[in-house]
Structure 1
Amino acid sequence: MDMQDNGWDSSATGWLAAIGEHGDFSRRHVLDGPMMARVSDRGFTNALDIGSGEGRFCRMLREAGLDPIGIEPTAALREAAQARDPAGRYLDAKAEKLPFEDSSFDLVVSYLTLIDIDEIEAAIAEMARVLRPNGALLIANLNSFATAGNWRRREDGADYFVMDNYLEARAEWVSWTGITIRNWHRPFSFYLQLLLASGLRLSHFDEPLPQGGEAFRTKRYRRMPYHHVMEWIKPGDNRPETG
């Protein structure tokens, strides 16, 4: 496998057509609400959006009163973000090597990007590094149960979900309309161990249910956990003052 090619350069046009201005079903009806609930009225002033794509969530963060920066290594997506948000800041960078000083951000966001990152160990360490003490790392990810399986159909036409090889981390190619990209499946414990080892503290976890949207999609999203939302806090310096 050529680890330099994750499919995003060739899939950018298809992605922009599919995501539009407002996002796909999972973003609009499953994740946006819970994600913004963890952002609003929290006192955050600035934010870093890891893998900001076409800039949709950066624009949402700005509407919530934050000053966001997006990093996006796929040129076509980054250029689209800048065109849609001329006043925004969208940089050519990767999560594995963030071009920022330590303790630079109140909030770091990974919105469905952990599955795209090859060097996940370095990336999570970098996310923790650029967080200020008491800052939050907010993650939306494909649930590891979902990435370990797929839907199948019985002879009677009923759909069912099959999961296998859950404990085996692996990169797999996935395709849908105009898009072919490489996603990672990793056991949930793998992510948790990395986040705990980085010194972060879990403060919130949810497997959100869909709210609204097409009935057939809503029904399927209620049958198994497609996504989860986590918030991790970087502990502050609570050492007692000395006189």
Structure 2
Amino acid sequence: MGSGEGRFCRILGAEGIAATGLEPTPTLRATARNRDPEGCYVDGRAEALPFADASFDLVISYLTLIDIDGIDQAIAEMARVLAPGGSLLIANLNGFSTAGEWRRQMDGSPYFRLDHYLEPRTEWVSWRGISIRNWHRPMQSYMQLLIGAGLRLAHFEEPRPSGGGKHAERFARVPYFHIMEWVKA
């Protein structure tokens, strides 16, 4: 889902795993194809996947769930294209990090302010000339949809960062992202 410029597909390919990248943004899809001419990059959106039922043994959503407006359709579609016994791997920004922001106390020391965690909302973020609307959703939104799609949670982790200096220190104070594996019965 949302393969972007294809980095993760190239990593999988280097490990001998044939990957199909789905990307709705023409510029990112073209970049992926230029960087990986032998790769398979498909135009499409997670809310209406252009694949047959049970097409994949493995579906990966790597930092994309926060970008999808129709999350209920997207999760249902991911479950639909997943073969029985297959795994859905998700790496997503943690709701704690998307519901808050770093601030400074009077003495200049940083603290993290969390507010309105249970209220889904969007905000625009920009980097490297790209602007995208990110969603904050509480964890229960994802969990209820994944369970409702008939998937079983097999693994959950909020990994502690390593390396990265001051950024790793901040991400160790507030969980930045999580990793989940869901299995289709």
Alignment TM-score, normalising by the size of structure 1:
0.74
State whether structure 2 residue 120 is matched by structure 1 residue 120: no
2:19 counterpart SS class: strand
Per-residue Cα deviation, 1:167-187 (whole angstroms, up to 9, x for no partner): 111111223453432100011
Which residue does 2:180 correspond to in 1? 230
State whether structure 2 residue 165 is matched by structure 1 residue 221: no
State whether structure 2 residue 79 is matched by structure 1 residue 167: no
Per-residue Cα deviation, 1:3-27 (whole angstroms, up to 9, x for no partner): xxxxxxxxxxxxxxxxxxxxxxxxx
Q: Distance in 2 between matches of 1:174 and 1:62?
A: 30
Tell me which amino acid in the other structure corresponds to 2:179. V
Q: Distance in 2 between matches of 1:178 and 1:59?
A: 23
Instruction: Give the Å deviation of 1:155.
Output: 2.0
State whether structure 2 residue 103 is matched by structure 1 residue 155: no
Instruction: Give the Å deviation of 1:105.
Output: 0.3
Tell me which amino acid in the other structure corresponds to 1:107. L
Correspondence list, 1:51-70, <5 A: 51-70=2-21
Aligned length: 185
2:173 counterpart SS class: coil
Tell me which amino acid in the other structure corresponds to 1:209. R
Which residue does 2:40 correspond to in 1? 89
Instruction: Give the Å deviation of 1:154.
Output: 1.4
Instruction: Give the Å deviation of 1:211.
Output: 2.1
What is the root-mean-square deviation of aligned Cα atoms in Å?
A: 1.0
Alignment TM-score, normalising by the size of structure 2:
0.97
4+ aligned runs moved over 6 Å, structure 1: none
Which residue does 1:185 correspond to in 2? 136
Q: Of Structure 1 and Structure 2, which has the larger fraction of its residues in strand?
A: 2
Structure 1, unmatched stretches of 5+, are: 1-49, 236-243
Which residue does 1:19 correspond to in 2? none
Tell me which amino acid in the other structure corresponds to 1:55. G
Whose Rg is larger? 1
Tell me which amino acid in the other structure corresponds to 2:172. R
Q: Distance in 2 between matches of 1:177 and 1:52?
A: 17
Q: Distance in 1 between matches of 2:131 and 2:38?
A: 31
